[in-house]
Amino acid sequence: MELEVVFLEDPACSWCWAFQPVETTFLFEWGEQLRWRMVMAGLRDHPVPDTSLIVRHWQTAADVSGMPFEPEIWQSHTLQSTFVACRAVKAVAVRSEEAARHLLRRIREAFYVEQKKIDDLEVIFELAEELGLSSADIIEQLSNGRADALFDSDREDGASYGFGFPTIVIRRPTMEDPKVLQGSVPYRELLDGLYAMGVNHKSRKRFRGTDSDWRRLLELQPRITMAELQMVTNMKPGPIENRLKALGTVREGPFYCLPLEVRQEQVLIPEELTF
């Protein structure tokens, strides 16, 4: 097996959301060349005892990353468990890892920005339907045990690295010691880790500003923040907004988006994989 890059994450980890500009840049530059996997290692299966501490973490993460956070949700709802969202992501991953990635992203947007209760399966079903995914399919995978089996495997994988989120593991089966990066590390540190594990720096697909680059970026992240756009493109906000306007994107709060019908077409699971 070739080199694998594993992201140990949780939908409700604030530093995982803060890490999105780095993760999006990685996926743009390396996602087509390297084998990568997002592991739902599970943050907690019980309510947090001190929500004020979580709010402070969110504020720090927002300041550091530039990603949007709306901590007011903690005044109206205490998240009971992150496992509900983890299992839903794995339910979609049974048939499509890429569709699962899109659902994970949509769950995060709903939680951090739209103040939605992501420990409520009905809310997650609504988010999935927005993406063109079938809530009936998710229920099937949750009921037949496949989602739990994948989540248990992810939890086991995460436990071997201490359950810190995010944690990035770069590994090869032929090498005894993987490269492990813990926390919301800068992109330069992730690049150094890849190169240390033998990845050829010439394989890096940098953003060049071509029409195909813009299309690929918006297909990768159909609802994208300015913090992510700046990191991927290395451009200033003004020129970015002008280019996005020419591409026909719309604004939804802090997100620059393709029209909804286009986003749904990008996420749909191939027909031959449906039940």
Give all strands (DSSP E) within the chain, no chain letters: 4-9, 35-40, 167-171, 179-182, 223-225, 250-252, 255-257
Tokens of 216: 């690929």
Which three-class secondary structure state does DSSP give residue 34? coil
Cβ atoms of 108 and 129 within 8 Å: the answer is no
How far apart (Å, rounded) are the C-alpha atoms in residues 127 and 129?
A: 5
Statement: residue 175 has pLDDT above 80: no
Statement: residue 271 has pLDDT above 50: no
Residue that has been written with the tokens 């990066």 in this structure? 181
Residue 49 identity (one-letter amino acid):
P
DSSP state of 70: -
Please name which of 117, 116, 160, 124 lies closest in space to residue 141, comparing C-alpha atoms: 124
Statement: residue 43 has pLDDT above 60: yes
Statement: residue 115 has pLDDT above 70: yes
pLDDT at 64: 96
pLDDT at 154: 95
Residue with the bigger pLDDT between 79 and 161: it is: 79
How far apart (Å, rounded) are the C-alpha atoms in residues 207 and 194?
A: 18
User: pLDDT for 1-18, tens place per residue?
Assistant: 489 999 999 999 999 999
CA distances (Å), 70 to each of 24, 73, 93, 130, 225, in order?
21, 7, 28, 21, 14
Q: What pairs with residue 6 in β-bridges?
A: 37, 169
264 by Cβ neighbours in 10 Å (0-12 / 13-18 / 19+) ranks as: middle
Instruction: Provide the whole-model pTM.
Output: 0.93
Cβ neighbours around 37 below 10 Å, total? 15
pLDDT at 266: 62
How far apart (Å, rounded) are the C-alpha atoms in residues 56 and 103?
A: 27
User: pLDDT for 190-229, tens place per residue?
Assistant: 999 999 999 999 999 999 999 999 999 999 999 999 999 9
What residues contact 55, with CB distance under 8 A and at least 6 apart?
71, 74
Domains of the chain: residue spans and CATH: 4-206 (3.40.30.10)
User: pLDDT for 60-85, tens place per residue?
Assistant: 999 999 999 999 999 999 999 999 99
Spell out a b/e string for 67-88, using b for 16 or more CB atoms within 10 Å of the CB, else e. bbbebebbeeeebebbbbbbbb
Tokens of 94: 């049974």
pLDDT at 49: 87
Please name which of 130, 42, 47, 45 lies closest in space to residue 89, comparing C-alpha atoms: 42
